[in-house]
């Protein structure tokens, strides 16, 4: 899910931008598979086949690099989801679109999701952590707004929107713990079956049985 | 959730058994907060205020210690849940009991749950991993059996029992990632609200609206 957006500070043309994009992708994979604490800038430089000095030229330290990866990933996820739900014309359809689009983003780059998910457990500085939580909240608020809208419109029962959002997000976040790309179902297919249960459980009696 | 069952090999009376129980509890907390790789036998000995030699007397190595903790925790969890669901008289009630009992076990000792959950990501040897997966499957199969039973009895719709079990277990396992003991709701209260949605979503039209 690492986008090809150029790194802040890299302004000397497409070659440098491509190089930074590659670096971010390699670093993201290492952070996801070895954890933040288990990955050093030396590991990333070795994997990218560049010198540590060249890596330092782009990123002053490991936390700055990690921050940029997390920020881009969450930005991509949030933008994709926001654009997708604009075309949905009911709250249940919006919740479904939020979840399936997220599942697709997950499937396209599970490492990005794992790196983001592990971030909350890493020894990140307070300021960076606050910035990341703010970005994640923006994503989560999109979902919560769909739930609130559905309750107001009488499409959903009067559930707790925050907890219902947690329930839905738990199913996405737990994919990283068990889903295998070689499994019989894609993330989208898994989430579709979950939604079949959860959306039915949210239906107000007024909105009828689907 | 570490039980007071004596360690295998510790047979010289209650004092030794109590000491081993204490060791297991301290080790479990460290594994949960620092991760398996981030915890050494030296850390555990220091925290327990014993010599490394005394620790080695009870446990030959870190993996053996970790294994015993995980085995006892999963055994306790499975036994508690199995006993609780025996008293439930319908499949929905059994699923509810499975989930709420698990939430209580989680609440009593979140560290035990986190240590177990992290285990699947640690550098555990193949034999120990296989033994652990077998124990975890025993727990998960109890839930799946309740779902299968509910479908057969016409209490649940014809959903995929394995995926439905995953959905339910995802909500429990995700508690470790966000629930705070200082939060406004206990794990049981959170799971109750989730069940209000999920069990309703599983209801067959024949079983009516609860």
Tens digit of pLDDT for each residue in A137-169? Answer: 999 999 999 999 999 999 999 999 999 999 999
Q: Please check whether residue A22 touches B, CB under 8 A.
A: no
Residues of A in contact with B171 (CB under 8 A): 167, 170-171
A82-140 pLDDT per residue, tens: 999 999 999 999 999 999 999 999 999 888 888 887 776 666 778 888 888 899 999 99
pLDDT at B2 > cutoff 80: no
Percentage of chain B exceeding pLDDT 70: 88
* pLDDT the model gives residue B9: 41
The confidence score (pLDDT) of residue A162 equals 96
**CB pairs A-B closer than 8 Å:** 74
Residue A33 half-sphere exposure toward CB, CA atoms < 13 A: 9
Considering CB atoms only, which of B159, B160, B209 is closest to A205? B209
Q: How does the average pLDDT of chain B come out, rounded? A: 87
Domains and CATH numbers, chain A: 62-207 (1.10.357.10)
CB-nearest to B197 from A37, A196, A198 is: A198
Q: Determine the residue among A116, A174, A210 to mutate to test chain B binding: the one whose Cβ has the most chain B Cβ atoms within 10 Å.
A: A174
pTM strictly above 0.80: yes
Residue-level pLDDT at A123: 63
Tell whether B84 is within 8 A of chain A (Cβ): no
Which of B38, B187, B197, B203 to probe by mutation at the A interface, max A CB count within 10 Å? B197
Which tokens in the block code for residue B140? 């998960």
- Could you report the per-residue pLDDT of B86-141, keeping only the tens digit for each? 999 999 999 999 999 999 999 998 888 888 877 766 667 788 888 888 999 999 99
Q: What string of H, E and C letters represents the secondary structure of chain A?
A: CCCCCCCCCCCCHHHHHHHHHHHHHHHHHHHHHHCCCCCCHHHHHHHHCCCHHHHHHHCCCHHHHHHHHHHHHHHHHHHHHHHHHCCCCCHHHHHHHHHHHHHHHHHHCHHHHHHHHHHCCCCCCHHHHHHHHHHHHHHHHHHHHHHHHHHHCCCECCCCHHHHHHHHHHHHHHHHHHCCCCCCCCHHHHHHHHHHHHHHHHECHHHCCC
Reported ipTM: the value is 0.84
């Amino acid at each position: 899910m690492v986008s090809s957006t150029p790194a802040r500070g890299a302004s000397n043309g497409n070659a440098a931008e491509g190089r930074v994009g590659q670096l971010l992708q390699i670093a993201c994979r290492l952070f996801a598979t070895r954890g933040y604490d288990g990955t050093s800038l030396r590991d990333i430089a070795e994997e990218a086949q560049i010198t540590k000095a060249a890596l330092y030229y782009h990123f002053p330290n490991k936390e700055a690099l990690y921050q940029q990866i997390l920020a881009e990933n969450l930005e991509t996820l949030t933008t994709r989801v926001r654009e997708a739900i604009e075309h949905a014309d009911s709250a249940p359809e919006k919740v479904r679109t939020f979840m399936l689009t997220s599942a697709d983003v997950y499937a396209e780059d599970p490492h990005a999701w794992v790196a983001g998910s592990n971030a909350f457990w890493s020894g990140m500085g307070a300021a960076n952590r606050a910035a990341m939580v703010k970005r994640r909240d923006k994503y989560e608020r999109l979902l919560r707004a769909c739930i609130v809208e559905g309750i107001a419109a009488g499409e959903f029962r009067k559930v707790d929107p925050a907890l219902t959002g947690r329930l839905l997000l738990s199913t996405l976040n737990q994919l990283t713990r068990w889903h295998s790309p070689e499994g019989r179902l894609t993330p989208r297919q898994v989430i579709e079956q979950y939604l079949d249960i959860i959306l039915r459980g949210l239906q107000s009696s007024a909105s009828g049985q689907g």
